[in-house]
Chain A
Amino acid sequence: MSDSSISQGAAITLNKLTKRYGDATAVDAIDLNAEPGEFLTLLGPSGSGKTTTLNMIAGFVDVTEGEILVDGKPVYALPPHKRNMGMVFQHYALFPHMSVGDNVAYPLRQRRLPKSERGRLVADALNKVGLSNLSHRMPRQLSGGQQQRVALARAIVYSPRVLLMDEPLGALDKKLRDSLQLEIKRIHAELGTTFVYVTHDQDEALVLSDRIAVFNQGKIEQVGSAQDLYERPSTIFVAQFVGESSLFHGLALDHQGGKGVLSSDRTLHAHRGDARSGAHAAMVVRPERIRVQPIDGVEPSGNAVRGRIIQEIYLGNSRKLEVELGDGSKVFVRESAGEVTANRPGDRVWLTFLPEDAVVLTTNESPDRPQLAADVQVPVFTSN
């Protein structure tokens, strides 16, 4: 018997999609596309426009400007119940007066499937989410995680070609979130449906997505794979929102052949960068790419910045050092458990990193702190 729930995902294209509420622009002319069968995550802080975008795709929110195409066809004229998309809400939105089985059968009843077919598909969907024996329970008798599984089953039972998920794990605790993430990933692989997933949790985005669109203030900062975003962030916002970043502020000196240089008393080199010469910029380095060595040794060659360790944070599989720089700004260094150095809080240290691990990016506003002065002794270091 062929598995009828295997469906081909639809392609989604957003063209200059805009939503304005009065004077406020919630979504600002975004262009974005999801390939058929892709897992696309809209990642951003609250109020960044990601949920509004999802609601426009679902048809819950009217589009101010721009268009939404599903498989090349505009869906503007279609009300939500005719878009044939699945939707999973943060707070489950299970119908409290219907049993689990009736909840899952609901979309099938709307599609007027015969009863026998309904029963088979409902059992199938509940099986997929691992709840095959709870069909007769009422939603309130289930835990949060189980309720969200039911909501998932209800959204996939009619094999929609697009599944929209609005922070579906947001109301669950960490352990449950982790296990459900893996299940969602598995179900996505099984179904071949296009998933559009909204979250503010960058770890979740990294675990689940084929590609991630990072939202900020109604605009998309960057779209790319988890690896793209982490290793090649194109804006400071992305660098700080996806994973942790240490920033060394200064003025961009030169930008040639894809290389960035940051001015300071001591110049720093990066293999990549987009900052124009003379612009306020920051050199962005991931904390685990920075090495720490005592300052009394030989002065290191290459990129090196002076600082003082002000805090040590033990994290089990690694430790994080908070280091204060000469300009008063603070950066993090992460040492994994196998390579912890002897440096302690209070120690003055060199921070070193390789040019290939650094990128120079324009800071939006001029930094609210003085420029990097790596070689200058600042009184705060010597006062105690």
Chain B
Amino acid sequence: MATVEALVAGSITADTVIDQAAPSKRWGRLGLLVPAGLLLIVGFVVPLVIMLWYAFTDPSVGFGNFAWYLGDAVQQRILLRTFTTAVNVTVVCLLLGYPYAYAMVAAGPKLRAVLTLLVLVPFWTSLMVRTFAWVILLQDHGPLQSLLATVGLGQIPLIRTNLGVVIGMSQVLLPFFVLPLYAVMTNIDRRLILASSSLGAGPLTSFFRIWLPLSLPGVGAGSLIVFISSLGFYVTPALLGSPGNSLISQQIFTQVNGLLQWGRAGTMGVVLIVITLAILAILALVIGRSTSTIKGVR
């Protein structure tokens, strides 16, 4: 009761209430984490450990799998291709998603509802359905090819190419870029733009000096989600690409399903995770620094 009254009086904030809560209450709150924690352990940590175990023990104990992986030029080319594909998808999402998110923020309520729906409908549609739709669109005598021919660009191979994979993955992952960016943009105080213009800045300057820096955390969050998701994408590259330009997830699948090389698959998983974590750590440092300067007045 006392804390409620203090809250009503406005003399202390919610944070201090939590800090002052009795230890038993604090444990009670932590208890809320138990179900998710259990799921994470059973569904993620345990398989991860098993994967690690295989990587170092199957078929024999030691670093044999890693020696194979590092010595295989094909694997390294695939790893590189996986990363460039992820970068390309992220760039495409950035180029398409940033103006889109901005349009959502700038639009009136009705147009915003439509734009939001347009983002969410593909989001809600099955991944398989969307990928097969892209197979139809991109195929050799499909609508896109005939459109290109009509425009006079001739034949540009799309299906079974890395370009086709990037197109498909970008469309699938675009909502993951737009939604966090939109969330950040709606929280930017629009009066800052008014202030900027009252201080003599034209619209372009206001955008580059005020709006863009303040929206960067959203760009960072969206890019990270898209980039990391791209690294492990399987269905879309498998259906739109070809074995000749496969990505690491397809290789893992082949090792397990076709060659029964659980150790090698585990090794590739470990490599992917380690590199991803390293990139995450670097980005977290950079973004953490920029957001800490951006989070500001309310």
Residues of A within 8 A of B (CB): 58-60, 79-87, 89, 91-97, 106-107, 110-111, 138-140, 147, 154-155, 158, 164
Contact = CB atoms under 8 A, between A and B. Distances in A.
Contacts of A138: 293, 296
Give the interface residue-count category, chain B: 20 to 34
Contact of B297 (A92, A154, A164): A92
7 contacts: A84-B200, A86-B198, A87-B198, A89-B194, A89-B195, A95-B196, A110-B201
A240 B293 CA distance: 47
A285 to B, nearest CB: 38
Contact of B202 (A81, A95, A164): A81
Given A96-B214, A110-B200, A110-B201, A80 B194 contact: yes
A165 to B, nearest CB: 11
B204 to A, nearest CB: 11
A140 B198 contact: no
A93 B296 contact: no
Interface in B161-219: 189, 191-192, 194-202, 205, 209-210, 213-214
B195 A96 contact: no
A106 B199 contact: yes
Nearest to A86: B198
B141 interface: no
Contacts of A94: 195, 296-297
A278 B214 CA distance: 64
A248 B204 CA distance: 59
A316 B295 CA distance: 44
A93 B296 CA distance: 11
Contacts of A83: 198
B103 interface: no
Nearest to A55: B194
The SS class assigned to the B binding surface is helix
Contact of A93 (B191, B202, B209): B191
A139 B205 CA distance: 21
A111 B200 CA distance: 7
B14 interface: no
Nearest to A96: B296
Nearest to A79: B197
A357 to B, nearest CB: 41
Contacts of B213: 97
A86 B197 CA distance: 10
Given A86-B199, A94-B297, A158-B200, 16 more contacts: A60-B194, A81-B199, A81-B200, A82-B200, A89-B195, A94-B195, A94-B296, A96-B214, A97-B214, A107-B200, A110-B199, A110-B201, A138-B293, A140-B295, A154-B199, A155-B198
Nearest to A144: B297
B191 A89 contact: yes
A148 to B, nearest CB: 11
Nearest to A85: B198
Most A CB within 10 A of own CB, among B189, B197, B205, B294: B197
A80 B297 contact: no
Interface string B203-244: 001000110011000000000000000000000000000000
Given A93-B192, A110-B205, A80 B295 contact: no
Contacts of A97: 213-214, 293-294, 296
B208 to A, nearest CB: 12
Given A80-B194, A91-B189, A97-B214, A106 B201 contact: yes
Contacts of A111: 200
A91 B191 contact: yes
Q: Which 10 A-B pairs have the closest CB atoms?
A: A96-B296, A110-B200, A87-B198, A93-B195, A107-B199, A80-B197, A81-B197, A140-B296, A93-B191, A97-B294
Contacts of A96: 192, 214, 294-297
Most A CB within 10 A of own CB, among B191, B199, B201: B199
Contacts of B297: 91-92, 94, 96, 139-140, 147
B210 A95 contact: yes
B212 to A, nearest CB: 10
Nearest to B190: A93
Contacts of B293: 97, 138
Contacts of A106: 196, 199, 201, 209
Contacts of B205: 110
Contacts of B191: 89, 91, 93
A84 to B, nearest CB: 7
Contacts of B200: 81-82, 84, 107, 110-111, 158
A106 B201 CA distance: 9
A79 B201 CA distance: 10
A79 B203 CA distance: 10
B69 to A, nearest CB: 43
A81 B201 CA distance: 6
A94 B198 CA distance: 12
Contacts of A81: 196-202
Contacts of A79: 197, 202
A55 B213 CA distance: 26
A95 B189 CA distance: 10
A59 B202 CA distance: 13
A64 to B, nearest CB: 20
B56 to A, nearest CB: 46
Contacts of A139: 296-297
B217 to A, nearest CB: 10
A315 B57 CA distance: 85
Contacts of B210: 95
Contacts of B195: 87, 89, 93-95
Nearest to A154: B199
A87 B199 CA distance: 8
A261 to B, nearest CB: 51
Contacts of B209: 106
Most B CB within 10 A of own CB, among A86, A106, A111, A139: A106
A76 B77 CA distance: 63
